[in-house]
A = this chain, B = another copy of it.
Amino acid sequence: MATYKIELIVKPKAGVRDPQGEAVDGAVKGLEVKGVKVHQVGRYLSMDVDARSTDEAKRIVDDLCKRLLVNPNLETYTARVEGA
C-alpha cells in the first residue's frame, strides 16, 4: 500500500454553458485588462488515496468521480496522480 496524491480538476463539458466562466471573463474585461480571455471555470480538489499502484489509485478516483464528484451531464474531469 502507498499513498498517492491526487489533484482533480472538474470543468464544464465542451459546449455546455458556463455562466461562471462568462461572468469572470466579463469581469476581467471590465478591469480593462487586454489580451486575456477566460475560457472556463471549474473546481479543484486535492486528495490522498491509498492504493497498491498508480492504476489502482486512478481506478478509485474514477469511481469516486462517477459516483460523487463529477456530474457527467455537465462536466468532465482530469486527475493527476503524483507517485507515493
Residues of B within 8 A of A28 (CB): 47, 64, 68
Give min CB distance, A59 to chain B, whole Å.
12
Q: How large is the interface on A (under 10, 10 to 19, 20 to 34, 35 or more residues)?
A: 35 or more
Most chain B CB inside 10 Å of its own CB: which residue of A9, A46, A50, A63: A46
Q: In the assembly, how many copies of this chain are there? A: 2
Enumerate chain A interface residues (CB-CB to B < 8 A): 1, 7, 9-11, 21, 24, 27-28, 31, 33-51, 60, 63-64, 67-69
Residues of B within 8 A of A36 (CB): 47-50, 60, 64
Decide if A38 touches B47 in the complex (CB within 8 Å).
yes
A41 and B41 contacting across the interface, CB-CB below 8 Å = no
